[in-house]
Structure 1
Amino acid sequence: MSFKQEDVKRPIANFPPSVWRDEFLFYDQQEDQDGVEKEVEELKEEVRKEIVHAMNIPTEHTNLLKLVDAVERLGVAYYFEQEIDQVLQHFYNAYGDKWKGGAISVWFRIMRQHGYFVSTDIFNNYKSKDGAFKEPLNDDVVGLLELYEATYLRLPGEIILDDALSFTRGRLDDISKDLSSTNSIVSKQIQEALAQPLHKRVPRIESVRYISFYQQQPLHNMSLLKLAKLGFNLLQSLHKKELNQIYKWWKGFDVPTNLPYARNRLVESYFWSLCVYFEPQYSESRMFLAKVFATATLLDDTYDAYGTLEELEIFTKALKMWSITCLDGLPKSMKLIYQMLLEMYEDMEKILSMMGIAHHLNYIREAMMEYIGCYMKEAKWANDGYIPTTEEHKEVATTSSGYKFVLIASFAAMGDVITDKVFKWALTMPPIARSSCVISRVMDDIVTHEEEQERMHVASSIQCYMKEHNVTKQQVYDLFNEKVEEAWKEMNHESLRCKDVEMSVIMRVINLARAMDVLYKNKDHFTHVDDELINHIKSLLVDAIVI
Structure 2
Amino acid sequence: MEAKHKEVIRPKANFKPSFWGDQFLVCDEQEEEATVELVLKSLKEVIRKEILVALDDVTNHCNLLKLVNDIQRLGIAYLFEQEIEQALQRIYTMYGDDWDGGSVSLWFRLLRQQGFYVSSDIFNKYKDNEGCFKESLTSNVEEMLELYEATYMRVQGEVILDDALVFTKNELERITNEPLQCTPSISKRIQEALEQPIWKRLPRLDALQYISFYEQQDSHNESLLRLAKLDFNRLQSLHKKELSQLSKWWKSFDPSKNLHYIRDRLVETYFWTLCVYFEPQYSRSRIFLTKLIKMAIILDDTYDSYGTYEELEIFTEAVQRWSITCIDSLPNYMKPSYKILLDCFREIEEIMGAEGKAYQVNYAKEMIRELNRNYMIEAKWCNEGYVPTLKEHESVALITCCYKLITTSSFISMGDIVTEESFKWAVSYAPILKASSEISRFMDDIVDHKEKEQRDHMVTSVECYMKEHDMKVEHVYDLFNKKIEDAWIDMNKEFLTCEDVPMALKMRVINLARIMDALYKHDDGFTNIGEELKGYIKSCLINNMHV
TM-score range, shorter-chain basis?
over 0.9
**Structure 1 partner of 2:293:** 293
**Match of 1:24, SS?**
coil
Contact 1:519 1:526 (C-alpha < 8 Å) held by counterparts: yes
Task: Name the structure 1 match of 2:453.
Answer: 453
Alignment of 1:421-460 (within 5 A): 421-460=421-460
What does residue 481 of structure 1 align with? 481
Render the CA deviation track for 1:358-401: whole Å, top value 9, x for unaligned.
12111111111111111010000000000001111111111111
Give the secondary structure class of the aligned counterpart of 1:23. Answer: coil
Q: How does 1:66-85 map to 2 (within 5 A)?
A: 66-85=66-85
Q: Write the mapping of 1:404-419 to structure 2, written as runs, cut at 5 A.
A: 404-419=404-419
2:257 maps to what in 1? 257
Shift of 1:182: 6.6
Q: Give the equivalent residue in structure 1 for 2:237.
A: 237
Structure 2 distance, partners of 1:189, 1:347, is: 46
C-alpha separation in 1, matches of 2:191 and 2:179: 11
Kindly provide the CA deviation profile for residues 193-216 of structure 1, in whole angstroms up to 9, marking residues without a partner as x.
101111111110000110000011
CA deviation vs aligned residue, 1:409-446 (integer Å, no higher than 9, x gap): 11110111111111111111011000000000000000
Aligned to 1:389: 389
1:103 shift after superposition:
1.6
Deviation at 1:115, TM superposition (A): 0.9
| Counterpart check, 1:356 vs 2:356 | yes
Match of 2:116 in 1: 116
Please say if residues 351 and 413 of structure 1, whose CA atoms lie closer than 8 Å, have aligned partners that are also in contact: no
Q: Is the 8 A contact 1:69 1:110 kept in 2?
A: yes
Task: Name the residue aligned to 1:521.
Answer: 521
Mean CA deviation greater in 226-235 or 295-304: 295-304
Q: Counterparts of 1:37-116 in structure 2 under 5 Å?
A: 37-116=37-116
Deviation (angstroms), 1:6 = 6.9
Aligned to 2:206: 206
Say which SS state the counterpart of residue 132 (structure 1) adopts: coil
- Give aligned pairs, total: 544
* Contact 2:295/2:341 (8 A) holds in 1: yes
Alignment partner, residue 323 of structure 1: 323
* Bigger Cα displacement from structure 2, 256-265 vs 64-73: 256-265
Q: Is the 8 A contact 2:176 2:182 kept in 1?
A: no
Aligned AA for 2:543?
A: D
**1:3-44 CA deviation, whole Å, 9 max, x = no partner?**
x99721111211111111211011012342211110000000
Q: Distance in 2 between matches of 1:466 and 1:380?
A: 21
Q: Which amino acid aligns with 2:467?
A: K
* In structure 2, distance between residues paired with 1:423 and 1:180: 55
Distance verdict in 2 for CA 1:208–1:10, change over 3 Å: same
Deviates more, 1:349-358 or 1:417-426: 349-358
How far does residue 181 in structure 1 lie from its aligned partner after superposition?
10
**Equivalent pair of 1:408/1:423 in contact (CA under 8 Å):** yes
Question: What corresponds to 1:466 in structure 2?
Answer: 466
> Closer, same or farther in 2 for the Cα pair 1:6/1:69, shift >3 Å?
farther
**Deviation readout 1:345-369 (Å, 9 max, x if unpaired):** 1221232123221121111111111
Check conservation: 2:15, 2:262, Cα contact below 8 A.
yes
Q: CA deviation at 1:474?
A: 0.2
- In structure 2, how many angstroms separate the alpha carbons of the residues matched to 1:45 and 1:179? 43
Native 8 Å contact 1:180 1:187 kept in 2? no
Q: Tell me how far apart the structure 2 counterparts of residues 89 and 362 of structure 1 sit (CA, whole Å).
A: 37
Kept in 2: contact 1:179–1:186 (CA 8 A): no
State how far apart, in whole Å, the 1-side matches of 2:182 and 2:130 are.
34
- Greater mean alpha carbon deviation, residues 461-470 or residues 338-347: 338-347
For residue 132 of structure 1, report the CA deviation from its aligned partner: 1.1
Distance 2:41 2:428 in 1: 42
Per-residue displacement from partner, 1:87-136 (whole Å, max 9, x unpaired)? 11111111111112112111101111111110001111111111111112
State the alpha-carbon separation in 1 of the partners of residues 467 and 150 from structure 2: 38
- Secondary structure of 1:80 counterpart: helix
**Equivalent residue number for residue 511 of structure 1:** 511
Q: What residue is the counterpart of 1:269 in the other structure? A: 269
Give the secondary structure class of the aligned counterpart of 2:358: coil
Identity rate of aligned residues, in percent? 55
Can you list the C-alpha shifts for 1:311-346, whole angstroms capped at 9, x where unaligned?
Answer: 111111111221222222212222111122122212
One-letter amino acid matched to 1:243 = L
Whole-angstrom CA distance in 2 between matches of 1:182 and 1:80: 35
The 8 Å contact of residues 202 and 515 in structure 2, kept in 1 or not, is answered as yes
| C-alpha contact 2:175 2:182 (8 A) present in aligned 1 | no
Pairwise CA RMSD of aligned residues?
Answer: 1.4
Q: CA-to-partner distance for each residue in 1:439-458, whole Å, 9 max, x for gaps?
A: 00000000002222322212
The amino acid that maps onto 1:435 is: A
Q: Which amino acid aligns with 2:536?
A: H
Q: How high is the TM-score relative to the length of structure 2? A: 0.97
Tell me if structure 1 keeps the 8 A contact 2:436–2:510.
yes
The one-letter amino acid of 2:115's match is G
Q: Secondary structure at the match of 1:15?
A: coil
Q: Is the 8 A contact 2:436 2:487 kept in 1?
A: yes
Secondary structure of 1:99's partner?
Answer: coil
CA contact (8 A) 1:233 1:544 kept: yes
Matched residue, 1:223? 223
In structure 2, C-alpha distance between the alignment counterparts of 1:59 and 1:294, rounded to whole Å: 53
Gaps of 5+ in 1: none
Question: Does the CA contact (< 8 Å) of 2:240 and 2:541 recur in 1?
Answer: yes
TM-score, length-scaled by structure 1: 0.97
Separation of aligned partners in 1, 2:6 and 2:485: 46
Larger mean Cα displacement after TM superposition, 392-401 or 333-342 = 333-342
For the residue of structure 1 that corresponds to 2:367, the secondary structure is: helix
C-alpha offsets along residues 206-235 of structure 1, whole Å, 9 cap, x if unaligned?
A: 001100000111111111110000000001
Give the 5 Å matches for 1:298-377.
298-377=298-377
Cα distance in 1 for partners of 2:333, 2:170 equals: 53
Give the conservation status (yes or no) of the 8 Å contact 2:175–2:181: no
Counterparts of 1:21 and 1:11, CA distance in 2: 26
Cα distance between partner residues in 1 of 2:188 and 2:57: 35
Residue 24 (structure 2) aligns with: 24
Distance across 2 between alignment mates of 1:84 and 1:468 = 50
- Whether the aligned pair in 1 keeps the contact of 2:296 and 2:368 (CA below 8 Å) is no
Q: Which runs of 5+ in 2 are unaligned?
A: none
Counterpart contact for 1:262–1:298, Cα < 8 Å: yes
CA distance in 2, matches of 1:437, 1:72: 26
1:147-168 CA distances to partner (integer Å, 9 max, x unpaired)?
A: 1111000101111111111111
Letter in 1 for 2:276: V
Q: 1:166 to 1:312 in 2, by over 3 A?
A: same
